[in-house]
Structure 1
């Protein structure tokens, strides 16, 4: 097995020069750096990671802090991880997944105090997320994949939920749908302040108001059973619904089975659109799901690149970027075919259009009772 001395001898440089090339501790000319790297390649030299870390005072390890419950990770979440891992590897770093629970602040403090991580990526971000303060106090550079309510001084990448929801609603309204139900994450998740659940809730109300249509949101547990229960609630409140918009992959499959159990076909009777979904998940359904495809892999990559800028530059600029999901039309959405209360003249389920409701402080003209989560 080749050693650093072997590399130095073949490259005709000092051992310290080889060390500087590996660690970046001192500037080395491009010609010398290429000569050392050519010698390393010829000898198949593999630097000792621990020794290299000690010399540079860096571990070359990035932590991906992603709370994982009993559901594990689906294909959509995995895309964020693989995108981040690929970018870290390309830069000579290792990405380590740490499933520290969002409420386990003591566990996070222990992890940060061990100085194993050069930097951290934070996922499943809440609007008020105490993990940010813990990492800042520990001096761990961080980038959020998601956003807190106050993003001052924080680098983040996130999905543009406003545009994503507007595009999804526009797709369904353009097909003639007027009774659209949004199936969100669970009531508990919303109450805990999970950013995507709250942002899509408010964006849905705003988008529906722009089209003069009453918004109806139903929370659902992240399971097939939760999807079926949410569908039952939706039909209780809007028997003439013609479309379901969902941001809950586990629940979507329960929604599809629930519709079939009612003798309704997709999309002839009810259209279904899934938001923040990977093509792999969309293709599992029958029919394949029309989806707002998640840019997860790109967000993971950009987050790592932003974090590396903070590690390599003392005064790196704050990076804040949003990417929308992309509409991919498959077999689960089509023109509205079922008569609604508007079309049939049945006013039993009629409600006042969102555009005519009192506007007393909600975002973008949305009634404040919606933005406060009272629906």
Structure 2
């Protein structure tokens, strides 16, 4: 893939090398579900009091309103070069005296809603940018970034994984990454162009997770079904659907959903963890142990897993365990500045000023080094 340059006016840069993000995975042998069983998962509307129309809802995530078109016309003179139009647009979106967009994790909105509310998550901000950039006659597309897994516990027995997405503008044949999510993006993460349907699938999946958290399983199902209609090969959405089905007591169907997710992506961490929990809850101990062994091996070699354990220990007040875990993360990945940064936080909490200053300096050095290598 071509080198991606982050537009200076946009936002921030950070993160890791592809090799450190992808430790050797423990082998996973799991029979994929039958096609008929998988298809049946999208025909469970009756259970939720819904019909089986996969085309609803349709929120038109890139729709432009007259106010949005007027904004682009006023802020981005059509006579400018493509590069200048791009800079004018990004500046207008982020400047507090103009639109003043704010990154708001967990707030998934359409482009129109984002324009009105002036905030949103990575997908919302990217959707607004893509819609407006196309109005300004720029060549732009959505860009999916494989950030390290972020586990969010929906309950004691299930978890979900969120994806990161930004946008790319192609100016004179050169891609420029536009990312409004501070401290999320780094050019060294694996990334790929995705079409509008896949971005929309992520939008519906995000809303499905929100409705699941809010206790509205029917709406969550409608969103997940719509997401899978648009992105049937997106493993994480099948995994999220599995969480919903498990919550509803549809255990056989939940198993099919998790196995479908893993057949598409054997390293889909949330689906693997949720399937192991499902087997354990059903007393299928041998199957649960086999998956748990795979999970344990992957966790031991994943620096971000140790980082998450360190943060959890810190929140419990177990600072010795927090230090042990963060140093394991550092040994596995010596380039991630946030690991040193968090070690400094722990040392400061312990009153160790010397170590606090040492790791604060190392964090600054690692961050500077990563930025110097931006193409």
**Bigger radius of gyration among the two:** 1
Structure 2-normalised TM-score? 0.27
Greater strand share, structure number: 1
